[in-house]
Every structure is written in C-alpha cells, then in structure tokens.
Chain A
Amino acid sequence: MQVEVWSDIVCPWCYIGKRRLEKALAGFEHADEVELVWRSFQLDPTFPKGVREPVYESLAKKMNATADQVRGMTDQVKQVAAQEGLHYDFENGVMVNTFDAHRLTHLAKDKGLGDRAHERLMRAQLVEARVLDDVDTLVELAQEIGLDAGQARTVLTGDTYTAEVEGDIRAAQQLGATGVPFFVMDRAFGISGAQPLEVFTSALEKAYAQKV
C-alpha cells in the first residue's frame, strides 16, 4: 500500500499532519506494508530565489495585515503544534524559496532517506528557524540526514532533481490539490489538511481493506 504525502518544508500544518500520520501508522497493524512516498510542493513558487524575509513580515505583506495581526493569527497553529510536541519559532523564522531544499529531499529519497530529510528540514525551518536557502546550512543538514556532504553540495549548486520537484508539483495539480498537506492512499483516497488522527487511522484501514 502506498501513501503519498505532498508537503512544503515551510508549511506548519504539514509538520503537524506528518506527526498525525506517523501516529496513525504506529497504531496500524499493517504498517509494515505501507510505502511512504514524500512528494514536493511549493506553497509559494513565486517567492523570489535569494530573498529572505522574516516570516511575520512576509505573511503580513501577503495578507495585507500588520505583523502584530499576523502574530495573533499564528497563535492557533502554534498551540496545535505544541500539542504534537512541536514548538514553532515563527518569531525568528525566515521565509525563503524552498525549491533547492526540495531538490535536496529528492537526493535523500534516492538514498532511502526521504522521510528523514523531510523531518529534518521541517524541524530546521519551523522549530529551529534555520535559513533553508543557505547552501552551507543545507549541506550541514544533509550530513545529519546521512547524506554525503560533497554530493549534497553538488546537487545544491547545480540543478539536479529539478524535474523531480516539478513533477511532484505537477502531479498534485493534476489531482486537483491546491494546498498542503495532501495525502493520497493508493491513488484512491485523498486527505487534505492536518486532519484529526482518527481520519488518518480510518483512511489507512479503508485503503488496506480495498487492497486485500
């Protein structure tokens, strides 16, 4: 059984959704038959490469609100994340274009480290407020994931895996997804957003029942 997850590294609800999926899988008796496939998605592909903006400032511009208003809006997601053991740091967070970070996740995927890559990069962005378009930072994280530093740097300074990232985004669009997280089970069931744990549990059971 295949579970595909479209996610962006800068997406706070994606990390929450990841935790809930993991919990559902932990309680799913056929979890060893589940192949988890991480797919790339960019929330804002138009965010200029090379630009770094404080998260609150970036959201305020996008929402035509003040930074204080945006702080208030983020309270809910911070509270929900905390319930999942994730302590987000938006105060120091920096918004960047995530395309290169996604290319790195595809290198990791090729090495059997896709899940570790998404976990480490989301934690770096959302919890640790690291700057994820900085090559040195990404290489450091790549090493933590278990990747070869030289290979990671080669990927990051070139354009390898561009087609793979674009292919993932195109696949999400073809399915009609406009936001993330987006979960698809065996190309039969779709789950949009950070749904409650019970939804993931039920979806795994339904997808498995359909398969056998």
Chain B
Amino acid sequence: MRASEADPDRAPEPVPAPEPGGDEQPLPVFRGLVTLGTEDAPACSDGICF
C-alpha cells in the first residue's frame, strides 16, 4: 500500500460504473459508483453518529 498524497484536482477521472455482477445487489446510492456493502452500516451524518 502506498500512502497517498494525491491532490483533489489530480483525482482520477470518473469511470463508468461497472455492471453489477454475481448474485450481489449493489445499492445505487452514489453518482457513477456501484455501492457495495449493506445499507445499514454505521456511519456519521450531520454530526450524528449513533
């Protein structure tokens, strides 16, 4: 793993999202991305984490 120090402006160009494969049901939540994992994974939003 290389710790990265990329600049936001040098981020890679978005690539077309791949088609979902296998028996997984990706959640199309984010623009241009196939979302992996479960919908109910804990996260922090609007300053609330619990």
Contact = CB atoms under 8 A, between A and B. Distances in A.
A199 B11 CA distance: 23
Interface residues of B, number: 37
Of A76, A164, A187, the most chain B CB neighbours within 10 A belong to A187
Interface residues of A, number: 67
Interface in A150-190: 164, 167-168, 171, 174-182, 184, 186-190
A202 interface: yes
Interface of A: 2, 4, 8, 11-14, 16, 25, 31-32, 34-39, 43-44, 47, 59, 62-63, 70, 73-74, 76-77, 80, 109-116, 164, 167-168, 171, 174-182, 184, 186-196, 199, 202-203, 206, 210
27 contacts: A12-B49, A13-B49, A39-B8, A59-B50, A73-B50, A113-B3, A113-B5, A114-B5, A115-B4, A164-B7, A164-B8, A171-B8, A175-B30, A176-B30, A178-B46, A186-B12, A187-B14, A187-B15, A188-B18, A189-B34, A190-B29, A192-B30, A192-B37, A192-B41, A195-B37, A199-B36, A199-B38
